[in-house]
Structure formats: structure tokens, C-alpha cells
Amino acid sequence: MKIRSLPTWLTAVLFFLIVGVVFQFASNQGWLSGYWRQVIMLGTLMAISALGLNLKYGYAGLFALGHAAFYGIGAYSSALITKDWVVGWSGNPAGGLAGVLAIEAGFILAAVAISRCKIGHLRGRLRDRLSKWLTHFEASVLATTVILLIGALIIVVVGGGSGWLVRRGVLALVPPLLGALPLAISQQAIFLLALLSGAVLAGLVGFLIGLPLLNLTYDYLCIATLGFGIITYVFFNNADKLIPTMKGARGMVNIPRLTTWPWVLACLAVALVVLRNFIYSSTGRAILSVRDDPVAAETMGIDVFRFKTLAYALGCAYAGLAGGLYAHLYAFLHPSNFAWLKSVDPFVMVVFGGVGSMTGTTLGAYVFEILLEGLRVLPAEFIDWRYVIYPLILLAVMLFRPQGLMGSNEWGFLKPPRRASKSANQQIGESAKEGEGK
Amino acid sequence: MRDNLIKVLLKALSWGILAVIAGVIVAVIGNLVAEDPVTFTQQMLNGLQLGFMYAMIAVGYTLVYGVVKLINFAYGDIFMVGAFVSFFGITQYGFSFVPALLLATVACVFLAVIIDRVAYKPLRDAPRIAALITALGMSIFLEYFTALKFVFSPDYIAFIRPFKLVTWNVGGVTFTNIQLVVAATSIVYFLGVQYIVGRTKIGKAMRASAFDKPTARLMGINVNAIIAATFALTGALAGTAAMLYATAYPQIFTFMGIQPGLKAFVAAVIGGIGSIPGAFVGSLIMGLVEAMTVGYMPLGSTLKDGIAFTLLIIMLLIKPTGIFGDPFEEVK
């Protein structure tokens, strides 16, 4: 009873402290080899990626297959930033950071400007005005052209201008500021910035690709996001024509190894706590309602499309964060790590652990990675069986327990807030089951 | 008077914009033709060959999707198994073209029906996403299982053509007997499937099951048997397509099914999924676009996959039901 009365945030902090210290102790004592340390760190960052997918698929009900693309976007963009700072490729140590931040600022401001101008509305009004003289078809051709021109102008002026400003600002400010610090600290600072901007870039791309695609449902959404994954894969393979240091199909090398155990664990902790608070907030409830019954949600005044896009973009940002950690864990990036089949990995984790369960997804990620690597102890002729076993697990789970091992149950501090404890927990659990039945 | 002037000006402007867009497209294509008509025709032929190949696979996708509303992700891998089986027929038993084709077809029919029975049938009434994930799992399982050493081995294997390659040269454009065989088989299969679905009793039952399963069941149709028959039909298509594909591009490996499978599915979506002529036309467009990308775009051969899927996304934005799709059957 006493333990139960601990506040949620304290439980979370204590839990992660204990896990972190135990792991550190075990590796200091030599119980864990360097190889297994890496496997567990990989599991941790895959858990972040899988949580992002769970937000898209488990909570928002969007069956999207392009997760690995966003993982790759986060990995490559953050690797460009830190590689520039530590090893250098663009001639200015902050060049990578300036470039990525400029793109993000340009995107965001252009998007804000376009939505402020209410372009769709404008197009309709222009068309109505023109239809005084023209047929409907002619009027819409003219109106569309005008709107496209205005949109292009806004993108070039607002997006390009703000991007240019941000780039100049970062180039002028960051090297002297961070350069004054000792190298070890400035590296960590730049790593943090790289992870954040990688996540933001992945989220932004997710938002932009979500705008046209999220109106589609089920198979259409699945195949369209899969298509986006393949387009990104093709882009990574040819990226060396754009930025030579990305090396395209040969694989990007010389990325500083900055991912350490405290970093991954802290990222997972933040990701879990943010997701938990997000899901149990009113926004989270809106997202759940969109999954369970879009029509009913719409009648309750919920902007279905907006919440779908929000969940999708946030899920993509999680993938981007995990990608950044991945890039600095192995110091080598190859496009084949982000091919569309890799989008299935986080899917297996989510489906295995429990659709719509944060606890389940996190455990699923660890089980998946440890199983995949643990099966290496098999004799050499059975090594290839690993990839036979994991689709079989997926099939078995789908056929016999489609809601995943954990279902939608949560453990510990991931449980719904106690104030509404019983009813909210039951509601979310039940609605998840109903969502399955659709 | 002033109104009239504005009207004429605006009309001229809007038609002018359309004319400029059309003019640019015509000019680009015309330029390509005028520059080198032989290369252009050659690329067209290559594109058509690829398109006919995709058409057979795409018809299979569209049939399954039409009846069970499921993207059969494992279809590309059934196709791959067909290629390997015909390879074994040719190398182990010295089969000629037709027996090898029949062997591949029969093997794929059995495989397709077994996959349906084992993986999809238990999930018939489950949510659609569950079946989709199962299909994905089945696909990955087939790829990695057949890549094991004692099954098909993970190596790239050179396929042995069961008949001699004959090339003809007409005014600089080369075409091969394989292209003729591919086109003929594809058209025959297309007409055959059209006939089966449109004119026979079993086809009528398929259409009824696609439309409304419970009612079809009430009308005395054995829906599960009809679905099995659909899978068998698609298996036959996959087997034949695999044999022809391996003959045209003689290199087989256990992941060979992914790319043609996905492209054919995209072609089926572009044509309008659920529609057989749509799948056929979509595949031809897909093949042509791919050949033209490889032929004329800088870095075309590396970008072709990207272009194909960009085409898909544009199509989904403009008309998600595809060229031949039923506008009333909204994306559910």
C-alpha cells in the first residue's frame, strides 16, 4: 500500500535509475560482454521506434508500413550533423547542423504561412468569382494555376528566406559558442541537438507525407506508405549525388560513436513518459476515439484528420529519434538497414508485445532483439533459421492471440492515472479489443 | 462589351495554360521520338514485355483482392517458388518448355491453396489488418525459408532457358521470340480469366462472394470453396508468369518475387483494384513507365523503383479507385 502511494513520476525515475545502475554494474563486473551490451542498447532504441509505431498503429489505428523510412531519415540527418562536428565533411563544423535546421525552419514556416493563407478556401473563392465568365472547368484550371503559383511563391520566399536566415544564424553563433566548451562536452551537446533535429525532421516528413496520404485507409494507406518507404530507400541509395558524404549504396562511415547506455536509457525513459502522458491526455483520448470509430468521433466534434496526422507525425518523430541513436551506436549506415522489409521488425515487436500497450511494445522489442541475437548460439548450419523463426512467431501470434501477449494491459507507472483508474483502464482495454474486431 | 473582353481573355488564358501543359508533354515525347525513333521503339517494346509480365501477376492480385479484400503479400513469393520449380524441372528432369510451365503452374496452384488454407482461412472473419499482417508474415517466411541451404539456397542461380533465344531485327529494332511468347501467353491468360470470371458459373459465384459473402452463403454458394478456387486460379497465373519471367530475365534467387510482386500490385491499384482489365492496363502503363525511366532518365535504372511508387502516390491522390475503379466503391 505504501509503495502504491508513490507519485507516478517518482516511480518512473526510480525504475529507470535502478535499471540503469543494474545494467552498468553488470557490465562493469564483466557479466555482459561488449557484444551483449550493444544488443541491449539496440533493443532499447528499437523499443523507442516500436513505441512510435504503436502510436501510429496501436493507438491511432493507422496501418502504415513505412516506419523504416523515418528511422532512416532520423539516422542519416543526425549522423550528418555529428559527423560534421567531430570529423568534418562540409568545411564548417556546424555546417550539418545549420543545413538540417534550415530545412526544418523553412518547412515549418512555409507550412504555417500556407495554412494561414487558407489556400484551399482562396481557390474556391477565386473559382466562384471566375465562373461568372467561364465554365466550371476553365475556372478551376485558372484558379488552381494561380493558387499553385502563390503556393510556390510562399514556399520560396517564406521557406527559403527563413531557411537562409536560420542557416546564417547557426553558422555564425554555434561554432564560437560550443567551440569554447571542451570537446567532450560540446560533442554531447551537438549529439543532443542532432538527436532532436533528427526526430523533428522525421516528424516533419511524416507530417508532410501524412497530409495527402492519411485520408486513405487500410490497404491503400498500407501500400502508399510502403511506396513512400521504397522511395526513401531509393533516395538513400542515390544520396551521394546530393551530399557526397552520405556515400549512397556504399554506406556512410566515420560517424562518431556517441550512443552510450545512459543516452539510450534516458531517451527511452523520456519517450515512454511522454507517450504515456500523451495517451492519457485529452488529445490521446481523441486519438483513441478516432481509431475506434471515426464517424462517431467526427460527430462529437473531433477533427479526425488532424488527430490522425498528429499521431502519425509523432510516431515518425519517435522513429527518427531511434534512428539517430542507431546511427551513433554502430557508426555505419547502409540503405539496406532502412529497406521496407525493416519496417516489419517494429511491427513484429508491437504485434508480439501487445497492440496498444506500451509495456508490451517495450518488452516485445527486447525479446525480439535478444531472441534474434541469442539464436546466434545455434550451430552454424541453423543460423539462417533465425529469419524463418520470426515470421513464424508473427504468424502464430496473429492466428492464436491477435491482440499480442500483453493485450492492452500496462504495468507499473504506465498504467492509466489513478484518478479515473478503473473506468479509464477498462475503457481503453475494451476499446482496444473492439478496435480489433473491426 | 468590357465583360465580353474579360471573358475572352480569361478563356484564352485558361485554355492557354492547358495548351502549354499538353504542349510540353507532346514536345518531350516528340523530341524523344524524333531524336532516335529506333531507341524509342526499342524501349516501348521492352516496356511492353515487362508490362505483359506484370499483367499476369497483377491479375492475380486483383482477383484475390476482389474476392477476399486482402493484399496477398505472399503472392510474389508464390511466383518465386514457381520459377524455382520450373528450374528444377528443366535441370533435373530435362523438361522442355511446356512441361516445365505446367509443373510450375501446378506447384503454384497447390502452394496458393495451401497458404490460403493455413494462414488466411482461420482469419476470414478477423479484422482485415490481422489478415494483412499474416500475409506479410507468410511472405517473409517463404522468402527466408526457401533461402535455407537445403531448400533453394540463398544464391543467385542462372536460369537455363528451355528454348533457344531467337532475335529478329526489323529496321534496327530487335525483338525476340520470348517477347512474342510473353505477349501471347499474357493475352491468352487475360482473356481466359475474363471468361472464367465473367461467363462461367464459378465466376458468377466468385463475383457473388466478392459482393456479399453472407448472402452468397445463403444462396447456397460454398464461399470457402470459391475462395480456394480463386487462390488456385491466381496460383496458376503466378506459376506461368514466373516461368516466363525467369526465361526473359534468366536469373533466379529467393527474393526475386518482392519487386515484381510489389510493382504488379501497384499496377493493379493504378488500374483500379478489383478490375481485371484495369490490372492489365495498369500493368502495361507500369511497364512502359519503367522502361522509359531506365531509357531516358539520368540514373534511371536506380531511380525506377522510386518513379513507380511516385506514380502510385500521385494516382492515389487523384483517383484512389484507379483508372477502371468503381467510383462508388469508396475506399473503405
Q: From CA A310, how far away is CA B317, in angstroms rounded?
A: 20
| Grid cell locating B303 | 531511380
The reply to whether A45 falls in a domain is yes
Q: From CA B202, how far away is CA B210, in angstroms rounded?
A: 12
Among A138, A145, A384, select the one facing B147 at the smallest CB separation. A384
- Burial of B207: CB neighbours in 10 Å, binned 0-12, 13-18, 19+: middle
* Strand residues in B18-57 grouped as ranges (E): none
- Nearest 5°: phi and psi at A333? -125, 130
Q: From CA B145, how far away is CA A370, in angstroms rounded?
A: 21
Handedness of CA A65, A365, A373, B144 (dihedral sign): negative
Q: From CA A337, how far away is CA A67, in angstroms rounded?
A: 12
CATH number of residue A305's parent domain: 1.10.3470
Q: 3-class DSSP state for residue B157?
A: strand
Q: From CA B83, how far away is CA B86, in angstroms rounded?
A: 5
pLDDT attached to residue A138: 79
The 10 Å CB-count burial string (b at 16+, else e) for A237-253 is bbbeeebebbbbeeebe
CB count in 10 Å sphere of residue B293: 22
- Nearest 5°: phi and psi at B175? -135, 155
Among A234, A344, A381, select the one facing B303 at the smallest CB separation. A234
- CB-CB contact of A231 with B300 (8 Å): no
pLDDT attached to residue A431: 52
The reply to whether A107 falls in a domain is no
Interchain CB contact of A375 with B (< 8 Å)? no
A vs B, Cβ pairs < 8 A, gives: 144
Q: From CA A331, how far away is CA A217, in angstroms rounded?
A: 37
Q: Distance (Å) from the C-alpha of residue A134 to the closest C-alpha of chain B?
A: 7
CB count in 10 Å sphere of residue A284: 21
Average pLDDT per run of 10 along chain B, which is 332 residues long? 80 86 89 83 89 91 87 90 90 86 92 91 81 87 85 81 81 84 91 89 88 87 91 92 88 86 88 86 91 81 82 81 62 36
Is A142–B148 a contact, with Cβ atoms under 8 angstroms apart? no
Q: From CA A37, how far away is CA A28, in angstroms rounded?
A: 11
pLDDT attached to residue B287: 92
In DSSP terms, B174 is beta-bridged to: B169
Q: From CA A11, how far away is CA A413, in angstroms rounded?
A: 6
Is B134–A398 a contact, with Cβ atoms under 8 angstroms apart? yes
| Grid cell locating A69 | 523510412
Among B10, B129, B138, select the one facing A133 at the smallest CB separation. B10
What residues contact residue B129 under an 8 Å CB cut-off, 6+ apart? Answer: A63, A218
Orientation of helix B97-115 relative to helix B75-93, angle to 10° = 140
CB contacts of A228 in chain B (<8 Å) are: 309, 313
| Grid cell locating A261 | 547506455
**In terms of C-beta distances under 8 Å and separation of at least 24 residues, what long-range contacts does A149-155 make, across chains too?**
A150/A117, A150/A119, A150/A122, A151/A114, A151/A119, A154/A110, A154/A113, A154/A114, A154/A117, A155/A110, A155/A114
The reply to whether A153 falls in a domain is no
In chain A, the residue whose alpha carbon lies closest to the alpha carbon of B19 is A141
User: How far, in whole angstroms, is CA B225 from its chain's centroid?
Assistant: 25
- CB-CB contact of A204 with A104 (8 Å): yes
Q: From CA B76, how far away is CA B142, in angstroms rounded?
A: 10
When computed from its CA atoms, the radius of gyration of chain A, rounded to whole angstroms, is 23
- CB-CB contact of B75 with B60 (8 Å): yes
Is A394–B129 a contact, with Cβ atoms under 8 angstroms apart? no
CA distances to A5, B46, B78, B247, B263 from B56, rounded to whole Å, are 65, 16, 13, 15, 12
Is A142–B17 a contact, with Cβ atoms under 8 angstroms apart? yes
CB contacts of A402 in chain B (<8 Å) are: 126-127, 130
pLDDT attached to residue A1: 44
Is B13–A142 a contact, with Cβ atoms under 8 angstroms apart? yes
- How do strand B173-176 and strand B157-158 relate by DSSP bridges? unpaired
Into how many domains does chain A fold?
A: 1
In DSSP terms, B251 is beta-bridged to: B158
| Grid cell locating A227 | 511506396
Among B7, B148, B266, select the one facing A384 at the smallest CB separation. B148
Give the 3-state secondary structure of chain A: CCHHHCCHHHHHHHHHHHHHHHHHHHHHCCCCCHHHHHHHHHHHHHHHHHHHHHHHHHHCCCCCCCHHHHHHHHHHHHHHHHHHHHCCCCCCCCHHHHHHHHHHHHHHHHHHHHHHHCHHHHHHHHHHHHCCCCCHHHHHHHHHHHHHHHHHHHHHHHHHHHHHHHHHHHHHHHHHHHHCCCHHHHHHHHHHHHHHHHHHHHHHHHHHHHHHHCCCCHHHHHHHHHHHHHHHHHHHHCHHHCCHHHCHHHCECCCCCCCCHHHHHHHHHHHHHHHHHHHCCHHHHHHHHHHHCHHHHHHCCCCHHHHHHHHHHHHHHHHHHHHHHHHHHHCCECHHHHCHHHHHHHHHHHHHHCCCCHHHHHHHHHHHHHHHHHHHHCCHHHHHHHHHHHHHHHHHHHHHCCCCCCCCCCCHHHCCCHHHHHHHHHHHHHHHHHHHCC
Host H or E run for residue B169:
strand B167-170
Reported as a single tens digit per residue, the pLDDT across A154-173 is 888 988 899 899 888 888 88
The 10 Å CB-count burial string (b at 16+, else e) for B248-276 is bbbebbbbbbbebbbbbbbbbbbbbbbbb
User: How far, in whole angstroms, is CA A97 from its chain's centroid?
Assistant: 19
| Grid cell locating A161 | 528566406
- Give the residue among B318, B229, B321 at the shortest CA–CA distance from B275: B321
pLDDT attached to residue A48: 94
pLDDT attached to residue A98: 85
- CB-CB contact of B269 with A224 (8 Å): no
CA angle A102, A312, B124 (to 5 degrees): 150
Ordered by start, the domain boundaries in chain B are 43-152+172-264
Q: Distance (Å) from the C-alpha of residue A53 to the closest C-alpha of chain B?
A: 14
Q: Give the DSSP letter of residue B120.
A: I
pLDDT attached to residue A370: 85
- Burial of A220: CB neighbours in 10 Å, binned 0-12, 13-18, 19+: buried
The amino acid that residue A37 corresponds to is R
What residues contact residue B284 under an 8 Å CB cut-off, 6+ apart? Answer: B47, B48, B51, B52, B55
CA angle A245, A249, A254 (to 5 degrees): 40
ipTM: 0.84
Q: From CA B35, how far away is CA B28, in angstroms rounded?
A: 10
Q: Distance (Å) from the C-alpha of residue A66 to the closest C-alpha of chain B?
A: 13
Is B148–A227 a contact, with Cβ atoms under 8 angstroms apart? no
CB count in 10 Å sphere of residue A98: 25
Q: For the whole model, what pTM was predicted?
A: 0.86
Average pLDDT per run of 10 along chain A, which is 438 residues long? 62 83 82 82 92 90 87 92 82 82 88 80 80 78 84 88 89 82 84 92 91 79 87 88 80 84 89 89 90 88 89 94 92 86 85 85 88 75 76 83 77 69 51 47
